[in-house]
């Protein structure tokens, strides 16, 4: 009985030491030559504490992270062995979206989350279905149709917003800044 008590007390004293060692190991492992290289990774929790701390400024925070990374690409780790990759490197974006697109499917999880909102369109499809969606959509976004859409939008804005403001200003001799 006394031996079990000593063992449990030693275990309780050893646990914080192990947790502290892991924290310092991962913190030092995260920094190389005093320069940050991506998201800080905590034992068990991964990048989650920093995500929660910066949720209100997510875009600014991830932009800062990517500026610190030599390759402009960072990997985040979340509990449950979930990883995410964020990149601002044009070569990586081109590789994933153009050169080797087939190797980067949306995946079932992404599709199931957005399916109710976006349906089975170009943003929630993979493989052959995506190619069919892309060909169908490409006709809608041809140069001529985009030019017509822009011209219609500009005409509408000029006639309903700009001209009335200019007319009112000229009638009242108001100077517009």
Band the pLDDT of 32: cuts 50, 70, 90. very low
Mean pLDDT of 2-14: 59
Beta strands in 31-158 (DSSP E): 31-32, 35-36, 73-78, 82-87
Please tell me the pTM assigned to this model: 0.50
Q: Taking phi first (over 0 means left), then psi (-120 to 50 degrees means alpha), and beta for anything else, what does residue 81 get?
A: left
Contact 126, 106 (CB under 8 A): yes
How far is it, in rounded angstroms, from Cα 148 to Cα 155?
10
| Residue 33 reports pLDDT greater than 50 | no
Question: What pLDDT score was predicted for residue 13?
Answer: 64
pLDDT at residue number 139? 76
Residue 53: enclosing H or E segment and its boundaries? Answer: helix 48-53
- What pLDDT is recorded for position 18? 67
Q: What is the pLDDT of residues 97-128, one digit of tens each?
A: 888 888 888 878 888 888 888 888 888 888 88
Q: Residue 30: is its pLDDT beyond 60?
A: no
Q: What is the pLDDT of residues 135-149, one digit of tens each?
A: 888 777 777 888 888
Q: How far is CA 51 from the centre of its chain?
A: 12
Rounded-to-integer distance, Cα 111 and Cα 119, Å? 9
Both tokens of 175, joined, read 């100077």
Annotate 94-109 with b (16+ C-beta within 10 A) or e (fewer): eeeeeeeeeeeebeee
Greater confidence (25 vs 69) lies with 69
Quote the DSSP letter at residue 45: T
Distance CA 24, CA 8 (A): 25
- 56-99 residue pLDDT tens: 999 999 999 998 888 888 888 777 777 788 899 999 989 988 88
């Amino acid at each position: 009985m006394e031996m079990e008590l000593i063992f449990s007390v030693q275990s309780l004293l050893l646990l914080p030491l192990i947790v502290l060692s892991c924290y310092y190991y991962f913190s030092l492992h995260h920094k190389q030559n005093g320069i940050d290289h991506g998201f800080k990774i905590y034992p068990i929790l991964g990048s989650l504490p920093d995500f929660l701390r910066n949720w209100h400024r997510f875009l600014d925070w991830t932009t800062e992270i990517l500026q610190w990374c030599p390759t402009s690409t960072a990997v985040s780790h979340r509990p449950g062995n979930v990883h995410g990759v964020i990149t601002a490197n044009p070569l990586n974006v081109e590789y994933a979206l153009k050169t080797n697109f087939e190797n980067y499917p949306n995946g079932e999880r992404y599709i199931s989350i957005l399916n109710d909102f976006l349906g089975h369109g170009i943003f929630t499809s993979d493989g052959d279905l995506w190619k069919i969606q892309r060909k169908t959509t490409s006709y809608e976004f041809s140069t001529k149709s985009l030019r017509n859409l822009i011209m219609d939008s500009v005409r509408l804005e000029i006639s309903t917003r700009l001209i009335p403001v200019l007319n009112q200003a000229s009638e009242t001799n108001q100077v517009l800044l």
